[in-house]
C-alpha cells in the first residue's frame, strides 16, 4: 500500500464513503453490517458513533490505510468476494482480536466451542490433572486454538504445529501481541512429527483439521474457496484423511487418560465415532453439536494403561 497517501480524512468524506459503501453492499448482497465493522477496525470508530453518524462533523479521522486503498479493497469485497476479515487484517475470536491474512483460515465462531469442550474434558480425574502438562494444537493456522488453550490452562505448556511457515509467522505474532509468547511453542511440520521427543506425554490434542471432501470444495462460498488456504480446508476424497491420520497417530503421543478433541463437518460424526472405536486405543467417545445443532466435535480419551 502506497505510504505517501494521506491516511487522514474529514468526517464528511468518510461519511460519504460509508453511505455509498452501504448502497453498494445492498446491491451486491453483502451484509451491510460489514461496513461498520470494517470502519470500527480501520477508522477506530465505535458503534455508537457510527449509529448516530456523529463522526460526520469531525475535522479529522485517522485511518489505518488511505481511503483510496480502503475503497479498492471494498470493491474486492463486493466483486471478488474477498472476506472482510482479510481487509481488516483481524477477526474477533473468543476474547481475542486475532490477526489474519490469506495464509490462514479465518477462525470461525463455532470453533470457539472447542476450547470450552477442552476445559470440560480436563475435569476428568487424572493424576497429574489434565489441566497441567502438554497440550497441542495441530494445524494451528492463525494460532487461535493454541491461544484459547493457553488462556484456559494457565498451568499447561501449549504446543502449536503447522505445515505452513507463513501461518506460523502469523500465529507467533498473535501469541506475542496477546501476551502468550512465553506459553506457546511453535513448530513447523506435519501433524505430530515435530513432537516425537514428547511421545506419550500429552494431556490433550485439539485440532480443527481440513475436513472438506475435495469434490465439495467448489461448492463452498466464494469467500472461502477463492481466498482461504486450501491446505486448511481440503480433507481428501471423503474429507476424513487428516482425521483418520490424527486417530491413528495420537495414541502414541497422548498419556493414559489423555484427551483427543477435534472439529469435523456435518455428516462425519458416525464415521469418526466408528474410526475411533475400531482403532482400539480410545474410550468414552462423545460427539458434541455446535450452536447450530450440527454434530461438529468429537472427543475421546486414550485408554488408561
The nearer residue to ligand GLN, 129 or 236, going by C-beta atoms, is 236
What is each CA distance from 50 to 22, 268, 302, in whole angstroms? 12, 42, 51
Least separation, in Å, of the C-beta of 173 and ligand GLN? 21
Question: Which regions of 10-155 does DSSP assign to beta strands (E)?
Answer: 61-62, 90-93, 96-99, 133-138
| Phi, psi dihedral angles at 48 (to 5 degrees) | -65, -45
Cα–Cα distance between 103 and 157 in angstroms, integer? 25
For cell 501461518, what's the residue? Answer: 167
Which residues of the shown chain bind ligand GLN in the complex (CB under 6 A)?
105, 108, 208-212, 220, 224, 233
Residue 301: how many other CB atoms lie within 10 Å: 23
Specify the residue, 24 or 299, whose C-beta has the smaller distance to ligand GLN: 299
Q: Between 58 and 288, name the residue whose CB sits nearer to ligand GLN.
A: 288
Output the CA torsion 241→214→140→284 (10° steps): -40
Q: Which is nearer to ligand GLN, 44 or 222 (CB)?
A: 222
CA dihedral over 71, 75, 77, 78, signed as positive or negative: positive
Q: Which is nearer to ligand GLN, 66 or 213 (CB)?
A: 213
**Which is nearer to ligand GLN, 64 or 227 (by Cβ)?**
227
E runs forming strands in the chain: 8-9, 61-62, 90-93, 96-99, 133-138, 156-162, 184-188, 202-207, 254-263, 282-289, 295-302
Q: Which grid cell is 156?
A: 499447561
Amino acid at each position: 500500500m502506497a505510504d505517501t497517501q494521506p491516511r487522514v480524512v474529514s468526517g464528511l468524506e468518510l461519511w460519504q464513503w460509508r453511505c455509498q459503501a452501504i448502497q453498494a453492499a445492498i446491491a451486491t448482497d453483502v451484509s451491510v453490517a460489514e461496513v461498520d465493522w470494517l470502519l470500527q477496525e480501520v477508522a477506530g470508530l465505535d458503534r455508537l458513533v457510527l449509529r448516530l453518524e456523529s463522526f460526520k462533523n469531525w475535522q479529522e479521522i485517522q485511518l489505518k490505510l488511505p481511503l483510496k486503498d480502503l475503497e479498492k479493497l471494498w470493491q474486492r469485497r463486493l466483486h471478488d468476494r474477498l472476506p472482510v476479515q482479510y481487509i481488516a487484517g483481524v477477526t474477533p475470536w473468543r476474547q481475542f482480536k486475532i490477526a489474519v491474512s490469506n495464509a490462514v483460515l479465518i477462525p470461525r465462531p463455532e470453533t470457539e466451542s472447542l476450547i470450552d469442550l477442552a476445559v470440560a474434558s480436563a475435569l476428568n480425574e487424572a493424576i497429574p490433572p489434565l489441566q497441567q502438562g502438554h497440550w497441542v494444537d495441530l494445524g494451528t493456522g492463525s494460532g487461535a486454538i493454541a491461544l484459547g488453550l493457553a488462556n484456559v490452562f494457565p498451568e499447561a505448556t501449549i504446543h502449536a504445529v503447522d505445515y505452513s511457515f507463513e501461518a506460523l509467522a502469523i500465529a507467533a505474532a498473535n501469541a506475542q501481541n496477546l501476551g502468550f509468547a512465553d506459553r506457546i511453542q511453535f513448530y513447523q511440520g506435519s501433524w505430530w512429527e515435530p513432537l516425537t521427543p514428547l511421545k506419550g506425554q500429552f494431556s490433550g490434542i485439539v485440532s480443527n483439521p481440513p475436513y472438506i471432501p475435495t469434490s465439495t470444495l467448489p461448492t463452498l462460498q466464494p469467500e472461502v474457496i477463492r481466498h482461504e488456504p486450501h491446505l486448511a480446508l481440503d480433507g481428501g476424497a471423503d474429507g476424513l484423511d487428516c482425521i483418520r491420520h490424527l486417530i491413528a497417530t495420537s495414541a502414541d503421543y497422548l498419556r493414559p487418560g489423555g484427551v483427543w478433541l477435534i472439529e469435523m463437518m456435518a455428516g462425519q460424526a458416525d464415521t469418526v465415532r466408528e474410526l475411533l472405536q475400531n482403532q482400539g486405543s480410545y474410550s468414552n467417545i462423545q460427539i458434541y453439536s455446535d450452536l447450530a445443532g450440527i454434530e461438529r466435535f468429537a472427543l475421546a480419551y486414550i485408554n488408561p494403561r
